[in-house]
Chains A and B, each alone.
Chain A
Amino acid sequence: MKTSSLLQRVMLLLGALVFMTPFLWMVLVSLKPSHSSLIDVNPWSPAQWTSTPLEWDNYARSLTIRPFALYGWNTTKVTLLGILGEVLSSSLIGYAFARLNFVGRGPLFILILSTMMLPAQVTMVPLFILFRTFGWIDTLKPLIVPAFFGSPFAIFLFRQYFMTIPGSLDEAATIDGASRFQIYWRIILPLAKPVLATVAFFSFLGRWNDFMGPLIYLSSESNFTLALGLASFQGQYSTDWNLMMAASLVVMAPCLLFFFLGQRFFVSSIVLSGLRG
């Protein structure tokens, strides 16, 4: 019994190490001088960590070799406005599906769940043509505006979470003369912080990391997002691995940061609302 649990423990830690090694390696490579980096890096020799001076300069170089500040600003705009739109619209819609009786509620909810399975490729071409007639190609609008009309997964999460909040709260507020919108805005939303954080986080990940959308809709470099800029980096500086890894780490950093900030919310809301019924 004792040895088997020790064995399990060792396996677990080994597994975790295997999953983390690429990250460690990435940091190591990002600090290597140019030119020498390809041949020199053997992560298994401890000398690697001490022999050559660490080039912190790589970070500044990798971010100025292309207009990464501009990419970052574009990505920030798309991400923040997108999160705002997705959270506001999806929570409102989720509230309607959790609490209000209206004609067609059941079938509509099933429709929402089935659009979750719709491959993006089906709508890709017609949406491109639609946004082209709006004159939105090579602007950030196609990446922002649709967020304000709700996203299926977020609606689903909100609805599931709202169902766990006792309906008696709504009734009490109704007796005090609150309107449906006031109940949603002032009572239900403040109680839904964990699911708000979860939806915002997933929305952040999806938008910050989105590649297909920017690839299709953006053409001039001044509108590029980080994901797109990073990919074009690969084509042009494909031997400067140290710079590529440095830039990749910078693009990754906010994802890790937000995860650690919101971590305690996510588990509780996945457990509560995740996949039940």
Chain B
Amino acid sequence: MKRSQSDFIAGFLFALPYLIGLCVFALYPIAMSFYYSFTRYDIFSSPEWIGLANYTELFGDRFFWTSIYNTLYYTFISVPLGMLVAVAAGIAVECQKFRGSLSSGLSFFLPSITPLVAASLLWLWIFNARFGLLNSVITPVLDFLNDFLDSSLTAPGWLADPSWSKPALILMSLWGVGGTMVLYLAALQDVPQSLYEVAELDGAGPFRRFLSVTLPMISPVLFFTLVMGLIAAFQVFLQAYVMTAGGPGDSTTFYCLYLFNNGFLYFRLGYASAMAWILFLLVIAVTFLVFKTTGRYVYYEGEGA
């Protein structure tokens, strides 16, 4: 009895830093952001209540819709593609037990721990249309094809071309899938060998074993990375800020870049807050939707025990 009472006090004291942090750095700002979204606020004068005006202005704002389109384009291609590459790399590393398989795993992982600013500068040059690494590979291949087919294909302009700028950033995001791959690798190593053996006895080939054993066993991790990946991709900002400043045209003006510009470039803090709240609701909606639609395909080992 005495122990549980002192536990109660200790528990409260131990958790106190978090309770304070939760209130000051999460709950209070969330509430204030909601309030600001109904005001006109330029930081120099106090906020002025304008009702729903920010929201109605947003729905008529061309850049708002462009930024949503760009962000969804980026998210719905880069996230599934990234998961695919990460699973493939994870399985390749896991299946190959030879000297050097671990160090190749390492080379998949290293890009994901390099500072994103440094990576952005690097890729800025990789994508350089005339002198970049990428086109130094593509151009000779195309030249050969052109000779052969008598065609006139040219290498993409990447970040200089509005129709290639988003694919370029998606390609760059694939370079950073190593963090996800490590999670998959940990999950893959957890799959009991006996399950594969039983499946093999039942006559399942490699593809069938992947579908019926591997995939269900790693589905909790797949699900987790899907949700977190979507949320992270909605917030894509730095690459566009550093590499393209939203251009060319407004082809890489992502949602959070436009939000940042409104808040800290034009000092329209109320407008930016309204955008933040729309993003917040979008994240909640998508998370909910993913839970509803794919949640039931996730297999938890301990379930029903």
Contact = CB atoms under 8 A, between A and B. Distances in A.
Contacts of A119: 231, 234-235, 276, 279-280, 283
Contacts of A44: 136-137
A275 B221 contact: yes
A230 B117 contact: yes
A187 interface: no
Interface residues of A, number: 91
A161 interface: no
A271 B186 contact: yes
B80 interface: no
Contacts of B191: none
A93 B25 contact: no
A17 B137 CA distance: 14
A93 B17 contact: yes
Interface stretch (B49-57, B101-109, B152-160, B208-216): B101-109
A275 B175 CA distance: 24
A148 B126 contact: no
A220 interface: no
A16 B108 contact: yes
A267 interface: yes
B29 A130 contact: yes
Given A121-B279, A126-B33, A259-B113, A149 B25 contact: yes
Given A117-B231, A119-B276, A96 B175 contact: no
B287 A117 contact: yes
B264 interface: yes
A220 to B, nearest CB: 16
Given A123-B29, A150-B21, A212-B237, A16 B279 contact: no
B196 interface: no
Interface string B255-299: 010011001100001001101110110010001000000000000
A9 B96 contact: yes
Chain B: interface residue count, which band? 35 or more
B36 interface: yes
Nearest to B270: A125
Contact of B29 (A126, A155, A205, A212): A126
Contact of B101 (A12, A126, A248, A259): A12
Interface in B197-243: 220-221, 224, 227-228, 231, 234-235, 237-238, 241-242
B272 A125 contact: yes
A136 to B, nearest CB: 13
A203 B234 CA distance: 22
B40 to A, nearest CB: 13
Q: Chain B's interface: helix, strand, loop or mixed, by majority?
A: helix
B77 interface: no
Interface in A101-137: 101-103, 105, 108, 111-112, 115, 117-130, 132
B112 to A, nearest CB: 9
A115 B26 contact: yes
A85 B3 CA distance: 29
A76 to B, nearest CB: 14
A148 B17 contact: yes
Contact of A43 (B6, B92, B136): B136
Interface stretch (B8-16, B59-67, B142-150, B161-169): B8-16
Q: Which 8 pairs, one residue from A and one from B, show the smallest C-beta to C-beta distance?
A: A149-B21, A102-B11, A100-B11, A96-B14, A16-B104, A123-B29, A126-B29, A248-B118
7 contacts: A16-B103, A16-B108, A22-B122, A96-B15, A130-B24, A241-B125, A275-B187
Interface of A: 5, 8-9, 11-13, 15-17, 19-23, 25-26, 29, 38-39, 41-44, 89, 92-93, 95-97, 100-103, 105, 108, 111-112, 115, 117-130, 132, 146, 148-150, 155, 174, 180-181, 184, 205, 208-209, 211-212, 215-216, 226-227, 230-231, 233-234, 241, 244-245, 248-249, 251-252, 255-256, 259, 267, 270-271, 274-275, 277
Given A9-B98, A17-B107, A26-B122, 7 more contacts: A117-B283, A119-B276, A127-B29, A149-B20, A150-B21, A231-B242, A259-B110
